[in-house]
Amino acid sequence: MMKEFSRRTFVRKSALAAAASVAMPRFASAGVQPINLGHPSPIRLGLASYTFRNFTRAQMIGFMRELGINQLNAKDVKDHLPMDPAGEAAALADYKAAGIEVHAAGVVSFTKDDDDDIRAKFEYAKRAGLKVLVAGDPAPTTLPRIEKFVREYDIRFAIHNHGPEDKIWPGPIQVYQAVKEMDPRMGCCIDVGHAARAGTDIPAAIRTIGARVFNVHMKDLTNFSEKESQVAVGEGYLPIADIFLALAYNRYPGWVDLEYEIKPEDPLPGVAESYTFMRGVIAGMGYNWHETKLP
């Protein structure tokens, strides 16, 4: 797989240039001028570890090294970020040694309206030094209880939307409506693929939700009615440039984490193509992005 990844270097560089050439007119028409050229990008790219759910932590670290990515949204899958303290400590030590920062954890399931269960998950995030906990499936009636822990731990609680199959949180607007009067650390993880399938105008939603966007899971689709139509970012119909523009407009301080859910046995080629396209869009905005050098 690594050898195949290396052989794609020329193709990926060409794709980067193509993505930039497509994005530049779009951003220029929106008022984003090339005066940004060379400035650090306001769009920061990370990885959702679920992308490599069939691979060990050591293998994923090797892939991240090849991809030039050092920011991780880690999930308790394989040995990526175990919930038990000893396993979690070992994982964090490995990431630190590799120059990788874990900036969020999730998706973590919050299905119980129970203090002990909720506290255990906030302790999990605290041990990792995280400021964002990406949450799945909390019942609306549980949110006031969760809000107490958000205040106690000073950790942002980002509810992940799961598309039309999720009757409570299909899109980020439903999340925002539920939390907008709560503590400002109660907010959204916008999964753009699921949001599109729920009929969400994603750039508009980002602007509406504003500072309560705490995390973004990035993917692309060729059919907004079919979850199985996922492709590498840039090969589908999601408005990636407009999404990035909305995030930049909001001065979004978080990470755009690629969550590539297809081809789980061989995801690296599609993952590499996705980062190449996203970096091209960033270049089209006139910003600079840097390949990360991992030790």
Question: Per-domain residue ranges for the chain?
Answer: 37-288
Under the banding of pLDDT at 50, 70 and 90, the label for residue 284 is confident
Q: How would residue 38 be classed by pLDDT, with cut points 50, 70 and 90? A: low
Given pLDDT bands bounded at 50, 70 and 90, which one contains residue 287? confident
Work out the percent of the chain whose per-residue pLDDT is above 70.
Answer: 84
Least confident of 81-90, 126-135, 251-260, 276-285: 276-285
pLDDT at 289 over 90: no
Fold adopted by 37-288: TIM Barrel (3.20.20)
What is residue 185's predicted lDDT score, i.e. its pLDDT?
Answer: 98
Reduced DSSP (H G I as helix, E B as strand, rest coil) percent helix, strand, coil of the chain, to 5? 45, 20, 35
Has this prediction a pTM greater than 0.85?
yes
pLDDT at residue 144 tops 50: yes
Q: How far is CA 295 from CA 62, 73, 100, 183, 221, in A?
A: 11, 20, 9, 39, 34
Q: Is the pLDDT of residue 101 over 80?
A: yes
